[in-house]
Amino acid sequence: MTQILSIGAPILELKDLSICLHHGKQHQILVHDLNLMLRPGETLALVGESGSGKSLTANAVLGLLGNSLQISGGQILVCGEDIVPWSDKERRKLRGTGIGLVFQDYQGSFTPFIKIGKQFVETLRSHNSLSVQEAKLQAMNWLGRVGLPAERVFNSYPFQLSGGQRQRAAIAAALMLKPSLLIADEPTTALDVLTSETVLDLLDELQSQTGCAILMISHDLRQVLKRADTIAVMKEGRIVESGAAEVIRTRPTHAYTKMLLKSRPLLTEIHAQLLAEEQALAGTGDRLA
Residues that bind other proteins (CB under 8 A): 49-50, 163, 192-197, 219-222, 259-260, 262-268, 270-271, 274-275, 278
For residues 247 and 241, what is the distance between their CA atoms, to the nearest angstrom? 11
The nearest distance, CB 259 to other proteins, in angstroms, is 6
Give whichever of 41 and 163 is closer to other proteins, judged by the CB atom: 163
168 within 8 A of 199, measured Cβ to Cβ? yes
Identify the three-state secondary structure at position 289.
coil
Give whichever of 52 and 207 is closer to other proteins, judged by the CB atom: 52
The nearest distance, CB 50 to other proteins, in angstroms, is 6
Give whichever of 155 and 162 is closer to other proteins, judged by the CB atom: 162
Give whichever of 42 and 241 is closer to other proteins, judged by the CB atom: 241
Map 115-174 to HEC letters: CHHHHHHHHHHHHCCCCHHHHHHHHHHHHHHCCCCHHHHHCCCHHHCCHHHHHHHHHHHH
The nearest distance, CB 269 to other proteins, in angstroms, is 9
CB atoms < 10 A from the CB of 9, how many? 12
The DSSP code sequence of 41-66 is T-EEEEE--TTSSHHHHHHHHHT---
The nearest distance, CB 278 to other proteins, in angstroms, is 7
Give whichever of 3 and 268 is closer to other proteins, judged by the CB atom: 268
166 within 8 A of 103, measured Cβ to Cβ? no
The nearest distance, CB 262 to other proteins, in angstroms, is 7
The nearest distance, CB 176 to other proteins, in angstroms, is 28
147 within 8 A of 179, measured Cβ to Cβ? no
Nearest C-alpha neighbor of 173 from the set 101, 125, 113:
101
Give whichever of 22 and 262 is closer to other proteins, judged by the CB atom: 262
Give whichever of 268 and 284 is closer to other proteins, judged by the CB atom: 268
Please give the backbone phi and psi of residue 40, each rounded to the nearest 5 degrees, phi first: -55, 140
Nearest C-alpha neighbor of 161 from the set 219, 119, 209:
119
Helix or strand holding residue 233 (H, E)? strand 230-235
The nearest distance, CB 281 to other proteins, in angstroms, is 12
CB atoms < 10 A from the CB of 138, how many? 17
